[in-house]
Structure 1
Amino acid sequence: MTEPHVSARPAPPPGPARRPALLAGVPARRETSVAGALLVSVLAASLLVDGFATGRNAGFLILDVAAVALIALPMTLVIVTGEIDLSVASTLGLTSAVLGRLWLAGLALELIVPLCLLLGALLGLMNGLLVTVARLPSLAVTIGTMALYRGLAYVVLGDRAVADFPFSWTGGAVAALPGTPVPWVALLIAGLAAAFGVLLHATAFGRSLFAIGSNADAAAFAGIPVLRAKLWLFVATGAMAALAGVFWTMQYGSARADNATGLELSVVAAVLLGGVSIFGGVGALPGVLAGVLLLGTIRNALQLADVPSDTLTVVTGLLLIVSVVVPNLLARAREHRRRRRSAPAGPG
């Protein structure tokens, strides 16, 4: 009689209790370090920078990071699978240009906004099809579409700016919740973050994304629809970039083809600062939100200190490099220590 199959996987070693599902997928030390860095940055800026520790500035800070936060949510899922989308800022810019062109054509904003979201989803779909059907690397694909979408934005609107939007939309975009300095967009970000957090950390689909990022071939062998999952993530990223484009246009009251140029750097930096591995398989949304706020806090404090904008870009680039290099150096150091401990002792 055939013996029942017994898994060869060893029992897990004794240790601390399992972490809650919403915090699974990233080491606790990384989450703690990001939150600690955010706290230190806020305290230091409050003590050293005039005007930072005010309710009004807190509202400005939230508005400043809103577009980054909106795009960082789906970008987290994309990078967890081991892919990346560098076309998000160009998608935002093309969305803004189309919004302005349709407004000049006489369409109502109530119709334009859904069309812009659909446009973003289609742009993301194009990225996804090139990655999943043509099997091209996402880095190369989205570098190409980053240039393509920005070029199309100039074709649509040229160098002109459209700025005659109704105040009910432009003023509403930056309006604060009654009795507070907190802009209403913070509620939108919180709601979407909760939805993406549940999707990533509390569903079978989310757990499959970590499996894809850790080993896509093994995930496919286990029956996970790897290509379909990646395709939908690119669609979601495009739609969220379009939503950020609508908000950006109304926040600044201007539709331009060059809106948000270079924003993809801030998005990727915030996601990696938040503990998501650029190689995939590791990450959590709470850490990403802390990374968004950390990057925003540093930039806001430097702006209040009259630091030139070029320096802000340098700081963002340095933070991006640190967020990639430091975790890898620490991982190599841990691996080196592990090998030394497991190495057999030499002859006595």
Structure 2
Amino acid sequence: MREKLLRWESILLLLCILVFVWGSASTPGFAETDNISFLLLDYTEVALLALALLPIILTGEIDLSVASILGFCSALTGVLWDAGMSFETIVPIVLVAGAVLGSLNATLIVKFALPALAVTIGTLGLYRGLAYVVLGDGAVTGFPDVYRPIATDTIPGTFLPYATLVVLVLGVLVAVVVHYTPVGRSLYAIGLGEQTARFSGIRVQRIKFVLYIVSGILCALASLVYTLRYNSARADNANGMELIAVAAVLLGGVSIFGGRGTVVGVASALLLMAGLRNVLFLNDVTNEIQNVINGLLLIVSVLVPVVANLVRRRRTPAAAATPGAPPPQETLPDPVGATAAPHGTPEEDQR
């Protein structure tokens, strides 16, 4: 019971409760249903990008181009709509475009074995630049009213927005895949040791390739929600949102090195960040200060696991030194990436 209470997911849920209690007590209108609906809508696109990043980071990789894919797909939506194409035709085209951009990331990272960080920093600028090439500095508005309620309205009789319901459905789907399927176990295995996972028969390259394609599709879906919610297609839509999404995933307890993390933790981190942002917004805190807070959350999310590991290592020798405690086991080095030197003849070994 104590271990469950001390889990990072439980701490995040407690922090969520404290933020919502603080907001309700200190900020007029925070607890009203209209504001809660706005709070949930405000983080819809961030949640979709976080769901795209979660499986990738579990494998020890990263994708910093998610917001730029969103911006390109939003610009593409505007161009196609301005050209007179029906929105029903635009949706599958945009989703395919997102998959193509994701597959380009996958090709460079998986097929050419380039570092994911370097590749996605490059495509972050590339895709954003292509968005400006496609649409320019202008904006396209006037999207169909029949579809806008999906991104703006709530389910009748509730405070739950339609877009949040879409996020919840996708979140449950991702949770099932990650935590209850062989594919999910493969993600953790790859994150803990890619070479070991490959020797275990896991198709590492195929899984990573598919993850980046799925990431592109989710980013394209986020672009449709973003465009409809603001009724505006622009090349700079969601500029900088990738850092907020990464902060949410890492704050949710997902290790930046891969192999550890849960969907519940990421969902709790998203709720915590959305509640905190809403309280600051209602108290007229500037965007600059909010960016500072997001940066601090990103640093804390990376720092906490490191500190926890240091504390755990210090406690282990102390526990082993107590009377009656079992002798400490020898800690073996991580075999991943290590190359065993071949043995020669006994004479050569002695030399």
Asked whether the two chains share a fold, i.e. TM above 0.5, the reply is yes
Q: Compute the displacement of 1:343 (Å).
A: 6.0
Which residue of the other structure, out of 93, 103, 106, is the alignment partner of 1:128? 106
Partner of 1:51: 29
For the residue of structure 1 that corresponds to 2:154, the secondary structure is coil
Partner of 2:115: 137
Q: Compute the displacement of 1:191 (Å).
A: 0.9
Alpha-carbon distance in 2 for matches of 1:292, 1:181: 18
Which residue of the other structure, out of 66, 72, 88, is the alignment partner of 2:44? 66
Q: Compute the displacement of 1:65 (Å).
A: 0.7
Q: Percent identity?
A: 47
For the residue of structure 2 that corresponds to 1:76, the secondary structure is helix
Asked if the contact 1:170–1:252 (Cα under 8 Å) also holds between the matched residues in 2, the reply is no
Which residue of the other structure, out of 68, 74, 80, is the alignment partner of 1:102? 80
1:116 aligns with 2:94: yes
Which residue of the other structure, out of 69, 76, 89, is the alignment partner of 1:91? 69
Partner of 1:294: 272
Asked if the contact 1:63–1:174 (Cα under 8 Å) also holds between the matched residues in 2, the reply is yes
1:222-261 map, 5 Å = 222-261=200-239
Alpha-carbon distance in 2 for matches of 1:183, 1:325: 34
For the residue of structure 2 that corresponds to 1:168, the secondary structure is coil
Residue identity matched to 2:123: T
Partner of 1:22: none
Cα RMSD (Å): 1.7
Partner of 1:6: none
Asked if the contact 2:52–2:219 (Cα under 8 Å) also holds between the matched residues in 1, the reply is no
Alpha-carbon distance in 1 for matches of 2:156, 2:138: 35
1:151 aligns with 2:97: no
Q: With structure 1 as the length reference, what TM-score do the two structures score?
A: 0.90
Alpha-carbon distance in 2 for matches of 1:142, 1:159: 23
Partner of 1:5: none
Q: Compute the displacement of 1:344 (Å).
A: 9.8
Q: Compute the displacement of 1:141 (Å).
A: 0.6
Alpha-carbon distance in 2 for matches of 1:216, 1:96: 35
- CA deviation string 1:52-96 (max 9, x = no partner): 111000000111010011111121111110011000000000000
1:189 aligns with 2:136: no
Alpha-carbon distance in 1 for matches of 2:6, 2:64: 28
For the residue of structure 2 that corresponds to 1:171, the secondary structure is helix
Which residue of the other structure, out of 271, 285, 308, is the alignment partner of 1:307? 285
Alpha-carbon distance in 1 for matches of 2:237, 2:37: 21
Which residue of the other structure, out of 76, 86, 111, is the alignment partner of 2:54? 76
Worse-superposed segment, 28-37 or 151-160: 28-37
For the residue of structure 2 that corresponds to 1:50, the secondary structure is coil
- CA deviation string 1:228-262 (max 9, x = no partner): 11111111111101100010000000000000000
- CA deviation string 1:211-232 (max 9, x = no partner): 0000111000101011111111
Partner of 1:166: 144
Alpha-carbon distance in 2 for matches of 1:191, 1:271: 18
Aligned residue pairs: how many?
Answer: 322
* Structure 2 unaligned regions, length at least 5: 324-351
* Structure 1 unaligned regions, length at least 5: 1-15, 20-26
1:199 aligns with 2:188: no
Q: With structure 2 as the length reference, what TM-score do the two structures score?
A: 0.89
Q: Compute the displacement of 1:105 (Å).
A: 1.1
